[in-house]
Chain A
Amino acid sequence: MRKVLLGTICIMFTISLYGQQNALMKEQKQMIGEFSGHFPTKDNTYLRARDTPENRAKAADYLADRIKQIGLVPQRNRYRFRNLNPLIDVLFSPFRGENIYTIIPATNSSDQHIVLGAHYDSELNCPGAIDNGTGSTLIYSVGRMLSGLDTREMNLIIVFFDQEEEDLVGSQAFADWLTDEKLNVHSVHTFDMVGWDEDGNREMELELPTTYLENVYSEKAREMDIPLYVTKINSTDHHSFRQAGFDAIGINEAYGKRDTTPFKDTPQDTYETVNFEYLAGSTQYVFEVIKEIINGDD
């Protein structure tokens, strides 16, 4: 009798996990499909690229709407930012853009914040399904899952950066905003391309983690049997936060080992090339890591 009961529980647990994974993949397929112009959005427009100011504004509206759909409040961090070269300042206007973010409050009175970020813009005329529809979708799903927890001992900020493809301007503006607001930031985790795994080994790359963050990610990766390696690559958004004095880490597919999309910054970076199973598995992994940090950190 005990064996039957145990077996039933095991089967139900497996079915439940499978169901969760399926639901997650369905959500992520829908979002990346809409975000890269594979499917129309609910107002029947196709986001074929997130490049020009007009197209980026449409993408920002889409994200704000998505945030509302899961019962959170979207906020807009509009910014203007100097050009990187003063000569360009003399000739042209400053950058303009908007980061879209939401705050998921702690269930206690903590003033600590964890920031999960991913850029939503794409290169000119590129659908950007993997770069960075996957990173945006990952943090969206992780945010939804974390908002459903009964306890959160830290506040979470989910932020979609504008203009990463233009010298990380959006994330620099957001780092300035965090500093101006004097928020107590525990750590910043940014995601850029999590949709390619040609060798099928589920491997992920950690970029410039602090010792603490490397330990947390490594421990959870061991538990979930996910191969990890560390690089010193700093060419994406986490660099902006490290420059501003925050603890930061970048997480993505195995870019440094070349197990990465060959279609980056091309019109072929489409929905069909995304490995959704890898994305869903990575999302689950990141969710477990962040849950560990916010609820298991002293």
Chain B
Amino acid sequence: MEMIKEKWREEPLYLSILALVGLAFLIKGVDYLMLQSLPPFILGVLMVLGLLYTIISESRLSRRLARVIAVFLIFWGFSRLAVELMFSFTSVTEAHIRSQFTWVNRLLSALSLFAGFYIYRKQNLKN
């Protein structure tokens, strides 16, 4: 706990981003767990455990793990935007997916890309 407090004093923005990312994926996971879909929940739990480990440990593994999470966040945001782009060029009629191309969701995708790049860059600077 002391270590987390100390990190918070050193890097409040970095820790806030990690916390928000962990919380967002955990909420999504619990939401889907209630709908009897396990993969998002497993992902959310792994994300939270991974982020906690990157905060409390200074090891090489922890830095690698942070990079993996960063790449995942970039992939997540990019995939959502890529699907939207693909739908705009094709006549796919999946109204459920189409209905998710809102400004709020675009903002979430962009925030995920930003968080991914930020975490990746932060880890590179530490090396």
Point out residues on A near B: beta carbons under 8 Å. Answer: 51-53, 80-83, 86-95, 123-124, 163, 165-166, 169, 265
A91 and B39 in contact (CB under 8 A), knowing A52-B99, A123-B93, A163-B96? no
Query: Hey, which chain B residues are within 8 Å of A124, CB to CB?
Result: 93, 95, 98
Query: Hey, which chain B residues are within 8 Å of A82, CB to CB?
Result: 32, 35-37
Main secondary structure of the interface of B (DSSP, over half): helix
Cα A298 to Cα B80 in complex, Å, equals: 55
Q: Say whether A51 contacts B35, CB under 8 Å.
A: no
In the assembled complex, how far is the CB of residue B106 from the closest CB belonging to chain A, in whole angstroms?
A: 13
In the assembled complex, how far is the CB of residue A154 from the closest CB belonging to chain B, in whole angstroms?
A: 31
Cα A83 to Cα B32 in complex, Å, equals: 10
Q: A53-B99, A90-B40, A123-B95 are in contact. List 13 more A-B contacts (CB 8 A).
A: A52-B99, A53-B95, A82-B35, A82-B37, A83-B96, A86-B39, A88-B97, A89-B32, A91-B79, A91-B80, A92-B80, A94-B31, A169-B96
Kindly supply a per-residue 1/0 record for chain B positions 82-123, scoring 1 wherever the CB is within 8 Å of any chain A CB and 0 otherwise: 010000000001111111100000000000000000000000
In the assembled complex, how far is the CB of residue B22 from the closest CB belonging to chain A, in whole angstroms?
A: 15
Query: Hey, which chain A residues are within 8 Å of B39, CB to CB?
Result: 86-87, 89-90
Query: Hey, which chain A residues are within 8 Å of B56, CB to CB?
Result: none
A-B contact count (CB 8 A): 54
**B43 close to chain A: CB less than 8 A:** yes
Cα A88 to Cα B94 in complex, Å, equals: 12
**B14 close to chain A: CB less than 8 A:** no
Interface residues of B in 67-83 (CB under 8 A from A): 76, 79-80, 83
Cα A90 to Cα B100 in complex, Å, equals: 14
Main secondary structure of the interface of A (DSSP, over half): loop
Q: Say whether A95 contacts B96, CB under 8 Å.
A: yes
In the assembled complex, how far is the CB of residue A267 from the closest CB belonging to chain B, in whole angstroms?
A: 12
Query: Hey, which chain B residues are within 8 Å of A92, CB to CB?
Result: 80, 97, 100
Cα A88 to Cα B96 in complex, Å, equals: 11
Cα A80 to Cα B96 in complex, Å, equals: 12
Q: How many residues of B contact A (CB 8 A)?
A: 21
Query: Hey, which chain A residues are within 8 Å of B98, CB to CB?
Result: 52, 124
Cα A272 to Cα B2 in complex, Å, equals: 74
In the assembled complex, how far is the CB of residue B108 from the closest CB belonging to chain A, in whole angstroms?
A: 10
Query: Hey, which chain B residues are within 8 Å of A91, CB to CB?
Result: 76, 79-80, 83
Chain A residue, CB-CB nearest to B36? A82
Cα A80 to Cα B34 in complex, Å, equals: 10
Query: Hey, which chain A residues are within 8 Å of B100, CB to CB?
Result: 92-93
Q: Say whether B31 contacts A166, CB under 8 Å.
A: no
Cα A253 to Cα B28 in complex, Å, equals: 42
Q: Say whether A166 contacts B94, CB under 8 Å.
A: yes
**Chain A to chain B contacts (Cβ below 8 Å), 24 pairs:** A52-B95, A52-B98, A52-B99, A53-B99, A82-B32, A82-B36, A82-B37, A83-B96, A86-B38, A86-B39, A86-B40, A89-B32, A89-B37, A90-B39, A90-B40, A90-B76, A91-B79, A91-B83, A92-B100, A95-B96, A123-B93, A124-B98, A166-B96, A169-B96
In the assembled complex, how far is the CB of residue B97 from the closest CB belonging to chain A, in whole angstroms?
A: 6
Q: Which 6 A-B pairs have the closest CB atoms?
A: A86-B39, A82-B37, A124-B93, A82-B35, A89-B37, A89-B40
